[in-house]
Amino acid sequence: FEGAGRWVPPGAGLDGLRRAAQGCEGCDLYENATQTVFSSGSASARVVLIGEQPGDQEDRQGAPFVGPAGKLLDKALVDAGIDRSDAYVTNAVKHFRFKQEGPGKRRIHQTPDAAQMTACRPWLAAELHIIDPDVIVLLGATAAKALLGPSFRVTRQRGRLIPRPPIDDETSRQNACYVATVHPSAVLRADDRDSAYAGLVSDLKVAAEVLG
Q: For ligand SF4, which is the closer residue by CB, 113 or 134?
A: 113
Please give the Cα distance from 1 to 12 (Å, whole number). Answer: 23
178: three-class secondary structure by DSSP: strand
Q: Bridge-partner residues for 47, per DSSP?
A: 87, 135
Q: Are 65 and 187 in contact (CB under 8 A)?
A: no
Among the residue ranges 90-98, 136-144, 162-170, 176-184, the one whose residues contact ligand SF4 (CB under 6 A) = 90-98
Backbone torsions φ then ψ of 19, nearest 5 degrees = -65, -50
CB 193 → ligand SF4: shortest distance, Å? 30
Told to check if 127 binds ligand URA by CB under 6 A, we report: no
CB 164 → ligand URA: shortest distance, Å? 24
Q: For ligand URA, which is the closer residue by CB, 10 or 127?
A: 127
**What character string, x for contact with ligand URA (CB under 6 A) and - otherwise, covers 42-81?**
---------xxxxx--x-----xx-x-xx-----------
Q: Which entry of ligand SF4, ligand URA, none binds 98, CB below 5 to 8 A by partner kind?
A: none
Q: For ligand SF4, which is the closer residue by CB, 25 or 169?
A: 25
Q: Are 93 and 112 in contact (CB under 8 A)?
A: yes
Which segments of the chain does DSSP mark as H helices, in order?
14-21, 56-61, 68-80, 114-131, 141-148, 154-157, 184-189, 193-211
Q: For ligand URA, which is the closer residue by CB, 135 or 182?
A: 182
Task: Find the helix packing angle between 14-21 and 114-131, rounded to 10°.
Answer: 160
CB 170 → ligand URA: shortest distance, Å? 26
Told to check if 112 binds ligand URA by CB under 6 A, we report: no
